[in-house]
Amino acid sequence: EAGVAQSPRYKIIEKRQSVAFWCNPISGHATLYWYQQILGQGPKLLIQFQNNGVVDDSQLPKDRFSAERLKGVDSTLKIQPAKLEDSAVYLCASSLEEVWGYQETQYFGPGTRLLVL
Amino acid sequence: DAKTTQPNSMESNEEEPVHLPCNHSTISGTDYIHWYRQLPSQGPEYVIHGLTSNVNNRMASLAIAEDRKSSTLILHRATLRDAAVYYCIRQEYGNKLVFGAGTILRVKS
């Protein structure tokens, strides 16, 4: 079974530029998550999709971050414009389905390491 | 707010058991305890989870205290490949997983 795919693996940009990350979840997984992981910290959830609908985006800085999952399969996370503090690893995860009250096992991709100069 | 407390780091010898503690003193009756680990330069991976009773799988065992205010992840024989950051996560009913800083496990050969 193929895992969660992410690209690119690394990205270096200058502040105020834009950047996009792509994620392809495990086939058949309805729920997709984007996390931000700053060096030395645990992952922080940015947004959660159930199929192509947003379940939770309360921690997404909406003035500069956007995400979409148009066909309920792969997803794109965009930052525009980037700031220095956006330097982090961006992780995508997927799970089989959203079951209210119970957290299904999440499967994570390798992440995209972003450096903003 | 991760709502769990873990040691910053621990060290173990190869081939020996490792007990990773986690404190979750404010846990309620419907909260699950999840453990994930993150190897260097990889995304986190699921290890085990439980609600009340002890749990075993091929990777590890999870021992949950009777009052559920603490739990211990047990790796029965640590290998160099087990060196990672281990996250203990308390999942409140209806809420998402919230990762803390975790415990860095170092394994010595």
Nearest by CB to B96, from A4, A56, A107: name it: A56
- Please report the pLDDT score of residue A72 as a whole number: 85
Residue A13, chain B, CB below 8 Å: the answer is no
Which one of A26, A49, A103 makes the best mutation probe of the B interface by having the most chain B beta carbons within 10 Å?
A103
Nearest by CB to B101, from A4, A42, A110: name it: A42
Tell me whether residues B42 and A110 touch, CB distance under 8 A: yes
Q: Is the pLDDT of residue A45 over 90?
A: yes
Stretch A77-100: mean pLDDT, rounded? 92
Stretch A42-68: mean pLDDT, rounded? 94
Chain B residues within 8 A of A91 when measuring between CB atoms: 43-44
Rg (CA), chain B: 13
- Please report the pLDDT score of residue B91 as a whole number: 84
Q: Are strands A112-116 and A88-95 parallel, antiparallel or unpaired?
A: antiparallel
Phi, psi torsion values for B53, nearest 5 degrees: -90, 165
| Helix, strand, coil distribution of chain A in percent, nearest 5 | 5, 50, 50
Lowest mean pLDDT, pick from A98-107, B50-59, B76-85: A98-107
Q: Is the pLDDT of residue B2 over 60?
A: no
Q: Is the pLDDT of residue A55 over 70?
A: yes
Tell me whether residues B93 and A101 touch, CB distance under 8 A: yes
- Please report the pLDDT score of residue A2 as a whole number: 84
Nearest by CB to B100, from A4, A42, A110: name it: A42
Nearest by CB to A91, from B43, B46, B93: name it: B43
> A110, exposed or middle or buried, with CB in 10 Å at 0-12, 13-18, 19+?
middle
- Please report the pLDDT score of residue B77 as a whole number: 95
- The alpha carbon of residue B105 is apart from the nearest alpha carbon of chain A, in Å, by 14
- Structure confidence at residue B94 as a pLDDT band (50, 70, 90): low
Tell me whether residues A103 and B91 touch, CB distance under 8 A: yes
- Please report the pLDDT score of residue A23 as a whole number: 98
- Closest C-alpha among B101, B103, B107 to residue B1: B101
